[in-house]
A and B are shown apart, each in its own frame.
Chain A
Amino acid sequence: GAGVSQTPSNKVTEKGKYVELRCDPISGHTALYWYRQSLGQGPEFLIYFQGTGAADDSGLPNDRFFAVRPEGSVSTLKIQRTERGDSAVYLCASRSPGLGSNEQFFGPGTRLTVL
């Protein structure tokens, strides 16, 4: 597809379970971002990938959160031992390489509900 896609669109899990959220960026975009949007709030930065490596993971709230991008394209956000406070919409964005490229294109998000 032409845009950023995220799967699943909705995920309901129980407290303590493990979840994986997937992001497919726009083809050719080397930069990939994860954000988390809680109800009534703006998106909050979690982690930024440049290629395969995490260039900035300062937004990850704790060590239960982890993200990978092994081939520099698809990324997976992994959450261990989920807590009710993890319920939010998780957004992925990608950006094309090169100087002057500063627009991030966002996917529709994955709504995570932890019961």
Chain B
Amino acid sequence: EIVMTQSPATLSVSPGERATLSCRASQSISSNLAWYQQKPGQAPRLLIYGASTRATGIPPRFSGSASGTEFTLTISSLQSEDFALYYCQQYNNWPMYTFGQGTKLEIK
């Protein structure tokens, strides 16, 4: 099983600042990596797929990048609606998806 490890567990950032979330895969997954945002009581929403492609309707302040088995989600200027839980997911071993444990992005 491919294990996805996210860091940090909680990230405290002020509105308007940049947030950087990390995700590491236990083995090579090429660019088969997605990021999701989840708000309390809501379903996850796809933000990024293919490690760096924004999903439909996702604003450009969200960006993804990759370096080997290390993946990063960057939110360039945090808006109030961005404070949420974020999950990474690999689909290299489709459809045996595995998710990271999540990063909670909270207001500093």
- Is chain B found bound to chain A in the same assembly? no
Residues of A within 8 A of B (CB): none
